[in-house]
Structures are given as structure tokens and as C-alpha cells.
Amino acid sequence: MLTRIDHIGIACFDLDRTVEFYRATYGFEVYHSEVNEEQGVREAMLKINDTSDGGASYLQLLEPTREDSAVGKWLAKNGEGVHHIAFGTADVDQDAADIREKGVRVLYDEPRTGSMGSRITFLHPKDCHGVLTELVTSRAEH
């Protein structure tokens, strides 16, 4: 069962400059940053608030580390902006299987490693009214 909006992913050309915008404009601070070589991104997670299920909601700022990454290709086509929405779940495997049974394409056969050691998968945007959708089980939940 999906329990929260885990994060909203925002693609950007310059991570440091974008982090500074969110810090100066809204007072959001970086909670976690990392480079995900598999996904080809450098990212910063800005914590917005804690949630009633023990998780949190974040903005995830994503800068591609290579042009052929999914975020790099998306930026080249669309420019900066909202890239995806992610829903938190205690069991990404089960929820992905349940959603697949409803006819929605799940992009990974097996969940992959995401931010902060989470387990993730994505749903095809054409099956989700144009929205790239991520399912996330945070490290604390698995």
C-alpha cells in the first residue's frame, strides 16, 4: 500500500546552483547527497517534513553525470523541471506486482538501489497519465 509522497524529483543542469535557490528561497537544507553511478546522476535530497508513517517527504534535485543517463536525455528534451513523483511503500516488490497486474508497465523486473539505500522501481509514464512514477521502499522499511 502506498503511504505517502516520498519525493518529487526535479531535473536540473547545475545541482549546486539549484540547491542554493531552494535554500535561499524556501529555507530548505540538504538532508543527503550522493552520486548514483547506475542512474548517472548527482543528487541532493532536501527534507520537507516528516510523515505520519515514520517516513519523510523530500525534494530530490537531480543533475546528470553523463548525457546518456535517463535524466540527461530528459533534460536535453524538456529542460529543467519536475521529472517524476515518488510514492513511499513498505513493500516495493508487492506494490509493483499489484500495479503490474492492473496493466501498468513496471520499468524494472527487480527493484534497484535508489537514494539513501532505498529500493526503487518506476512505472511507465504513458500508463500513468504522462507522469513518470517511482515506488520507493526506504532503507528503514526494508
User: Annotated catalytic, 134?
Assistant: yes
Q: Indicate which residue of 39, 60, 63, 83 is catalytic.
A: 60
Residue 81 grid cell? 523541471
* Secondary structure letter of residue 104 according to DSSP: P
Q: Indicate which residue of 39, 43, 63, 83 is catalytic.
A: 43
Q: Indicate which residue of 39, 63, 83, 134 is catalytic.
A: 134
Q: Indicate which residue of 39, 63, 83, 84 is catalytic.
A: 84
Output the CA torsion sign for 23, 26, 31, 35. Answer: negative
Q: Indicate which residue of 7, 39, 63, 83 is catalytic.
A: 7
User: Annotated catalytic, 60?
Assistant: yes
The rounded distance, in Å, linking the Cα atoms of 37 and 129 is: 29
Q: Residue 115 is inside which H or E element, if any?
A: none
With beta carbons less than 8 A apart as the criterion, state whether 1 and 137 touch.
no
User: Annotated catalytic, 84?
Assistant: yes
| 3-class secondary-structure state, position 35 | strand
Residue 78 grid cell? 524538456
> Active-site residues: which are they?
7, 43, 60, 84, 134
